[in-house]
Amino acid sequence: MKLVVSSDHAGFPLKEDVRANLAAAGHEVVDLGAYKVEPEDDYPDFAEKVGEAIKAGMAPRGILICGSGVGVCVAANKIPGIRAGICHDTYSAHQGVEHDDMNVLVLGARIIARRRRTSLRTRSLEPRFRERKRDFSGGSRRC
């Protein structure tokens, strides 16, 4: 699968690990930065890069990383068509894609244990969205 990945300075070391592991697993990874640790960089810039790349068709899914995951998740979800979710467990990573059509996995570099990182990426890449009428029934529902 082709993926776009990006992080701010707090997520940079984890992004490098994620990028290398995804490439080793046979995925095509487009790195949208950061390219080095720069404490003055700003997380919304990286959320925008991933969101706009997905909207432009560069890749169907992305991974965003910052210190807690919250900042890039909030910023990414402001972009129409982006459905980002913070996932620090494998169940949420899988369900987020299969039931909620999540197209951006968000990780908090300062939150997630090193050994859990690989399993989360795998669980979010395996499923495909299964639309059910009750999930998107229209009408007055906002979600």
Q: How far is CA 32 from the centre of its chain?
A: 12
Residue 31 domain flag: yes
Residues composing the chain:
143
Residue 130 domain flag: no
Q: Over 70: is that where the pLDDT of 58 sits?
A: yes
pTM above 0.85, yes or no: no
Domain with residue 6: its CATH number is 3.40.1400.10
Domain coverage including residue 55: 2-125
Q: Over 90: is that where the pLDDT of 60 sits?
A: yes
Per residue in 74-110, pLDDT (tens digit) is 999 999 999 999 998 888 988 999 999 999 999 999 9
Residue 140 domain flag: no
pLDDT for res 139:
46
Residue 38 domain flag: yes
> Which residue, among 37, 35, 39, 65, has the nearest Cα to 50 in the 3D structure?
65
Residue 53 domain flag: yes
Q: How far is CA 9 from the centre of its chain?
A: 16
Structure confidence at residue 132 as a pLDDT band (50, 70, 90): low
Could you tell me whether strands 61-66 and 2-7 are parallel, antiparallel, or unpaired per DSSP bridges?
A: parallel
Mean pLDDT to the nearest integer, 109-122? 67
- When mean pLDDT is compared over 29-33, 98-102, 117-121, the highest value belongs to 29-33
Q: Over 70: is that where the pLDDT of 128 sits?
A: no
pLDDT for res 90:
86
Residue 131 domain flag: no
Q: Over 90: is that where the pLDDT of 35 sits?
A: yes
Residue 112 domain flag: yes
Active-site amino acid positions: 66, 99
Residue 34 domain flag: yes
pLDDT for res 118:
57
